[in-house]
């Protein structure tokens, strides 16, 4: 049995006409770091709150460490939770904020001190122990909130968008701190975020949701390279994957503007019997360089440049191609002017195909 098992979990809030979570099935191994990701309103917090016990489970079973948890009180589930709005006690020092929960548990004083020392050490808060929250930076406050959660030494750590109140730079450094904390503590962690970059960079495994339903669960690169459907393909990765609705005839993809792409034998096999599909390709798999054009001469396409976004390390090039706006990720030295005409190729082995109706990936 896995450490956590969610079996056919459904949630419908009182007064709602639809489910907020539908048929949620997932197993999480001990020590795993799992991210729930998806757009706002897709049911991430609801699922996490059902695991924590703050929301009733409408139907289905929640098992933690071999025990059915549906009716177990939050305080008896062995869970620590960090919320988006981690209100610290303003009148208490850092160390008091961290130890307060332990005092409430009536632990012996020396044990409380030991745990608080440990948390301050692991989170780099030793110099700040006597400060009050108003004299801390956002990242330091966030670390205190984490400290408050880790001293409980729970087997299960739940975090609901804990970084969304921080500015971009701090988010990146806290991302790293939470990851390294997880490597040290190795406690099972479920991390909720709407930010696919956080999910990609931190999680062992990502569960991507839409409208209360799991779309795909897998390792970050599995989702990136083998998205199960068009939603996952579009959600993971930045800039977004380009999608083209294309007809298939005589071994060619026919684009809206009349341009054609000759399918490889493998692609023909994959798409046999289909007349219309959605082709997806990521920005980094669109190539302008001469060696690629030479290699794929028979499939050269034409672009009219609209705009170049200079990112510093690389550029996003926006252009009209095959009848629609398309984006490619190119070398930082490749800057074009609006109106420039360029040739490019799609890398055949990097094309994704989705059923035009169901949007499911075609393997
Ligand atoms: N207390 C509630 N009562 C009724 N509906 C709710 C409640 N909390 C959340 N919902 C609804 O459930 C859905 C999922 O919400 P939530 O789990 O908060 O999404 P997420 O965390 O992914 O943004 C949304 O449609 C939301 O409006
Ligand atoms: Mg939420």
Identify the pLDDT of residue 164. 82
CB 206 within 8 A of CB 37: yes
Higher pLDDT, 31 or 333: 31
In which band, very low, low, confident or very high, does the pLDDT at 138 lie, cut at 50, 70 and 90? confident
Cα–Cα distance measured from residue 168 to residue 347, given in angstroms and rounded to the nearest whole number: 33
Instruction: Measure 35 CA to ligand 1 centroid, in angstroms.
Output: 18
pLDDT at 170: 78
Q: Does the fold of domain 242-355 match that of domain 4-231?
A: no
Residue 309 pLDDT level (bands cut at 50, 70, 90): very high
* pLDDT range class, residue 40, cuts 50, 70, 90: very high
- 207 vs 218: CA distance, rounded Å: 7
How confident is the model at residue 12, as a pLDDT? 98
Question: Rounded CA gap, 243 and 238, in Å?
Answer: 14
Q: What single DSSP character describes residue 361?
A: B
* Residue 99, pLDDT score: 94
CATH class of this structure's domain 242-355:
mainly beta
DSSP assignment string, 254-281: E-TTS-EEEPPHHHHHHTTT-SEEEEEE
Helices 109-122 & 138-150 angle (0-180, nearest 10): 140
H/E element holding 140? helix 138-150
Give buried/exposed letters for 15-26 (b at 16+ CB in 10 A, else e): eeeebbbbebeb
More confident residue, 337 or 227: 227
Q: 4-231: which CATH number, 3.40.720.10, 3.40.50.300, 3.20.20.140, 3.40.50.620?
A: 3.40.50.300
Query: pLDDT tens digits, residue range 100-128?
Result: 989 888 889 999 999 999 999 988 899 99
Mean of the per-residue pLDDT values of the chain: 94
Best CA proximity match to 266, nearest among 345, 350, 344: 350
Measured CA to CA, the distance from residue 244 to residue 216 in angstroms comes to 22
- Residue located nearest, by CA, to atom 20 of ligand 1: 41
Percent of the chain exceeding pLDDT 90 equals 81
**Ligand 2 mean position, distance from CA 41 (Å):** 7
3-state secondary structure of 109: helix
Most confident by average pLDDT, 95-104, 148-157, 354-363: 354-363
What token pair was written down for 38? Answer: 């998806």
Token couple for 201? 């960079």
List, as own/partner pairs, every contact residues 13-18 make where C-beta atoms lie below 8 angstroms and the sequence separation is at least 24, other chains included.
Answer: 13/46, 18/212
- Angstrom CA distances, 177 to 165, 201, 251, 332, stand at 16, 12, 51, 30
Q: What pLDDT score was predicted for residue 271? A: 97
- Domain extent listing, the chain: 4-231, 242-355
> Which atom of ligand 1 lies closest to the CA of 43?
17
- Please tell me the predicted confidence (pLDDT) of residue 201: 96
Distance between CA atoms of residues 112 and 60, nearest Å = 38
**Cβ < 6 Å from ligand 1: which residues?**
13, 16, 20, 38, 40-46
pLDDT number for residue 249 = 96
Count of beta carbons in the 10 Å neighbourhood of residue 257: 12
d(CA 337, CA 126): 53
CA distance linking residue 344 with residue 200, whole number of Å: 29
Q: Residue 161 — pLDDT band, cuts 50, 70, 90?
A: very high
Partnered with residue 59 across adjacent β-strands are 10
Q: What is the pLDDT of residue 114?
A: 94
Cα-to-centroid distance, 29 and ligand 1 (Å): 26
The pLDDT value given to residue 284: 97
């Amino acid at each position: 049995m896995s450490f956590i098992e969610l079996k056919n979990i459904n949630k419908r809030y009182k007064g709602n006409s639809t489910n907020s979570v539908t048929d949620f099935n997932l197993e999480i191994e001990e020590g795993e770091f799992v991210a729930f990701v998806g757009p706002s309103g897709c049911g991430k917090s609801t699922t996490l709150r059902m695991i924590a016990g703050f929301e009733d489970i409408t139907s289905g079973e929640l098992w933690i460490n071999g025990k059915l948890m549906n009716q177990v009180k939050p305080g008896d589930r062995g869970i620590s939770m960090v919320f988006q709005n981690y209100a610290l006690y303003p009148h208490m020092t850092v160390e008091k904020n961290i130890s307060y929960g332990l005092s409430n548990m009536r632990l012996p004083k020396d044990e409380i001190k030991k745990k608080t020392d440990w948390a301050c050490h692991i989170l780099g808060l030793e110099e700040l122990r006597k400060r009050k929250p108003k004299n801390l930076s956002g990242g330091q406050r966030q670390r205190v909130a984490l400290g408050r959660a880790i001293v409980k030494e729970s087997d299960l750590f739940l975090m609901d968008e804990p970084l969304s109140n921080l500015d971009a730079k701090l988010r990146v450094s806290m991302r790293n701190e939470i990851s390294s904390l997880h490597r040290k503590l190795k406690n099972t962690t479920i991390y909720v975020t709407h930010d696919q970059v956080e999910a990609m960079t931190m999680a062992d495994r990502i569960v991507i949701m839409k409208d209360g339903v799991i779309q795909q669960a897998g390792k970050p690169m599995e989702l990136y390279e083998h998205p199960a459907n068009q939603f996952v393909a579009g959600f993971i990765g930045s800039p977004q994957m380009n999608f083209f609705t294309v007809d298939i005839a005589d071994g060619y993809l026919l684009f809206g503007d009349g341009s054609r792409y000759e399918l490889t034998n493998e692609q023909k096999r994959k798409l046999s019997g289909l007349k219309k599909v959605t082709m997806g390709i990521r920005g980094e798999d669109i190539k302008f360089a001469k060696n690629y054009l030479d290699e794929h001469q028979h499939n050269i396409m034409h672009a009219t440049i609209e705009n170049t976004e200079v990112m510093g390390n690389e550029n996003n090039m926006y252009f009209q191609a095959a009848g629609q706006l398309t984006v490619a990720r190119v070398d930082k030295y490749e800057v074009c002017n609006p109106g420039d005409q360029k040739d490019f190729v799609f890398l055949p082995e990097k094309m994704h195909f989705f059923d035009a109706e169901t949007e499911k990936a075609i393997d």
